[in-house]
């Protein structure tokens, strides 16, 4: 679903954090069919040959939930006219877990022991996280909506060490994503520069 520019950036950052020994696993929240997860997984296969690092994949695997009013009119229209924030699929960006596993394991030949699937709404799965991933070298957020972005930052940001990379795929695409990130950064006093990748995505590197 992403652009060539974003795919290349993801590959380059995957390589960079591994080559510069930023500690931690890779995490993607919002997987859909697994395209970006595949890039992250292939980079791990190539540059983390001893299989120390895991790739954690969070998704409902049943599509986007309802947006809330904070996501704006465009999000409600995209979702078939609903915007109450209910954790019920609006059947956009829908891909089942078997389809994603088939793509990652059979098509890309990623090692099964490397990947950890967290199936369910972020709001349900993230609070259940225990020790792992204890550190996150690369955090890619691609859940589109305000609440989806906020809950990921709330639960995962503190696990990103210095030098870790945070990629927000939807910052300039969906207004709720930008709002959630801006509020989070303001509340935490984060001044690491937000770098624009293209017409949709941004990243920052944790200092």
Ligand X SMILES: C[S@@+](CC[C@H](N)C(=O)[O-])C[C@H]1O[C@@H](n2cnc3c(N)ncnc32)[C@H](O)[C@@H]1O
Binding site for ligand X (CB under 6 A): 1-2, 30-32, 35-36, 59-60, 63-65, 93, 121-123, 142-145, 148
* The two three-digit tokens of residue 133, written as one number: 């991933």
For residue 46, CA distances in Å to 39, 130, 159, 174 come to 11, 28, 24, 33
Least separation in angstroms between residue 162's CB and ligand X is 25
CA pair distance 121, 65, nearest whole angstrom: 8
Least separation in angstroms between residue 146's CB and ligand X is 10
Least separation in angstroms between residue 100's CB and ligand X is 9
* The two three-digit tokens of residue 62, written as one number: 């049943």
Least separation in angstroms between residue 121's CB and ligand X is 4
Q: Which is nearer to ligand X, 58 or 163 (CB)?
A: 58
Q: Which is nearer to ligand X, 52 or 127 (CB)?
A: 127
Q: Which is nearer to ligand X, 89 or 161 (CB)?
A: 89
Q: Which is nearer to ligand X, 23 or 63 (CB)?
A: 63
Least separation in angstroms between residue 204's CB and ligand X is 18
Q: Where are the alpha helices (DSSP H) in 20-161?
A: 35-47, 72-78, 97-101, 122-125, 146-156
Q: Which is nearer to ligand X, 48 or 147 (CB)?
A: 147
CB 199 within 8 A of CB 171: no
For residue 205, CA distances in Å to 133, 183, 202 come to 18, 17, 11
The two beta strands, 165-168 and 202-205, are: antiparallel
Least separation in angstroms between residue 10's CB and ligand X is 9
Q: Which is nearer to ligand X, 126 or 205 (CB)?
A: 126
CB 163 within 8 A of CB 205: yes
CB 24 within 8 A of CB 135: yes
Comparing every residue's Cβ against ligand X, the nearest one is 30
């Amino acid at each position: 679903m992403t652009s060539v520019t974003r795919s290349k950036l993801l590959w380059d950052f995957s390589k960079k954090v591994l080559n510069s020994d930023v500690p931690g696993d890779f995490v993607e929240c919002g997987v859909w069919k697994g395209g970006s997860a595949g890039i992250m997984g292939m980079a791990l296969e190539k540059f983390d040959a001893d299989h120390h690092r895991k790739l954690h994949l969070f998704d409902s695997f049943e599509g986007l939930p309802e947006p809330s009013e904070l996501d704006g009119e465009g999000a409600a229209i995209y979702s078939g006219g609903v915007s109450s924030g209910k954790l019920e699929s609006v059947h956009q960006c829908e891909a089942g877990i078997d389809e994603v596993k088939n793509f990652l394991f059979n098509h890309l030949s990623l090692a099964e022991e490397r990947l950890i699937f967290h199936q369910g709404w972020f709001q349900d799965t993230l609070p259940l996280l225990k020790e792992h991933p204890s550190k996150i070298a690369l955090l890619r957020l691609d859940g589109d909506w305000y609440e989806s972005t906020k809950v990921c930052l709330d639960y995962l940001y503190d696990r990103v060490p210095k030098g870790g990379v945070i990629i927000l795929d939807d910052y300039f695409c969906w207004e709720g994503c930008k709002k959630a990130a801006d509020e989070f950064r303001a509340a935490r006093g984060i001044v690491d520069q937000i770098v624009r990748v293209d017409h949709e995505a941004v990243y920052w590197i944790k200092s």
